[in-house]
Amino acid sequence: QPIGYGEQWAQLAQWLAACPAWQQRELMPMYFPMFVHCYIALVARSETQTASRIIQSQIQRLSHDQRHKDQCEQLRTLQQPSQLPGHALAQAYLGARVTMLLSSETFEALIAFLIKAKLQRLLRILHSYFNLHSCMLPAVPEP
C-alpha cells in the first residue's frame, strides 16, 4: 500500500528544498499545482484532516505569494467530495495541464526521486496533469 498524498507531498516538498537553487527555479512552476492536486485528491478521498493540515502549512509558507495564498483560501472551502463538481478552482486545475520545460538533468532527477521514493501517487498526478518537456537548457546564472 503506497503512502498517502499528504506524506508524498511532504516528501516532495522536502526533496525540492534540498535541490540546488538552479533546479529549484526550474521546478517551482510544478510546486503549487502539485500541491493543489494533492489537496483535491485528499478531499476526494474524504481525508479531510490531512487536507486541512497540509493546506494550513501551505498558507503559512505562502506569505510572499498573495495569488497562491488566495487560491489556498478558496481551496479551504472545499471540504467534501460532493463539493468537487461545483468548485470552480478545483475544476480549473482538474481540467488543465501544466506545461513545463526542464533541463534533462532536472527532469531525470525529478523522475528518479519519485521512482526511488515510490511516490506513485505523485507520478500519477504528473502523468495526468503536467506536460514535462526535457531539453538542453542554457545554464541559468545565480540572481
Q: Which residues of the chain fall short of a pLDDT of 50?
A: none
What residue has cell string 541559468?
140
Q: How far is CA 111 from the centre of its chain?
A: 14
Domain range enclosing 25? 5-135
Instruction: Please report whether residue 140 resides in a domain.
Output: no
Instruction: Please report whether residue 143 resides in a domain.
Output: no
99: Cβ contacts below 8 Å, ≥ 6 apart? 130, 131, 133
In whole angstroms, what is the distance from residue 51 CA to residue 53 CA?
Answer: 5
| Residues written for the chain | 143
Instruction: Please report whether residue 53 resides in a domain.
Output: yes
Please tell me the pTM assigned to this model: 0.88
Instruction: Please report whether residue 60 resides in a domain.
Output: yes
The tally of domains found in the chain comes to: 1
Instruction: Please report whether residue 32 resides in a domain.
Output: yes
In whole angstroms, what is the distance from residue 143 CA to residue 122 CA?
Answer: 30
The pLDDT of residue 62 is 74
The pLDDT of residue 114 is 97
The pLDDT of residue 134 is 86
DSSP state string for 116-136: HTT-HHHHHHHHHHEEEEEE-
Cβ contact 16:122 at 8 Å = no
The pLDDT of residue 110 is 97
Cβ contact 92:40 at 8 Å = no
Identify the CATH number of the domain in which residue 118 sits. 1.25.40.500
Instruction: Please report whether residue 127 resides in a domain.
Output: yes
